């Protein structure tokens, strides 16, 4: 299973290669499948390739939901 976790674009070079920030972790990414991507944009990455672009509000809502789910499942584990 693959989760589409939003990541912020931090760097792109002329070869459509660059880096994204996954909640503090910097990851090399290929942007060749995307048009008009700039540092500061939010993307979904699969297998090292940026595959879709999000606006900042969508990215933050998704990250908040993932955090909420993580806290929920952590609490379930602590109640066993």
Question: DSSP per residue over 20-61, as a string?
Answer: EEETTEEEEEE-TT-SS--TT-EEEEETTEEEEEE-HHHHHH
**Percent of the chain whose predicted confidence (pLDDT) is above 70:** 92
For residue 6, is pLDDT > 70? yes
State the average pLDDT over residues 20-30: 94
Architecture of the 7-78 domain: Roll (2.30)
Beta pairing class for 49-54 and 17-22: unpaired
What pLDDT, in 10s, does the model give residues 42-69? 999 999 999 999 999 999 999 999 889 8
Tell me the domain boundaries of the chain.
7-78
pTM: 0.82
């Amino acid at each position: 299973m693959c989760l589409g976790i939003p990541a912020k674009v931090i760097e792109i070079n002329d070869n459509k290669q660059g880096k994204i920030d996954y909640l503090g972790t910097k990851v090399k990414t290929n942007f060749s499948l995307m048009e008009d991507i700039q540092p500061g944009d939010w993307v979904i990455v699969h297998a090292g390739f940026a595959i879709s672009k999000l606006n900042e509000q969508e990215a933050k809502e998704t990250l908040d939901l993932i955090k909420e789910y993580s806290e929920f499942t952590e609490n379930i584990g602590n109640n066993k």
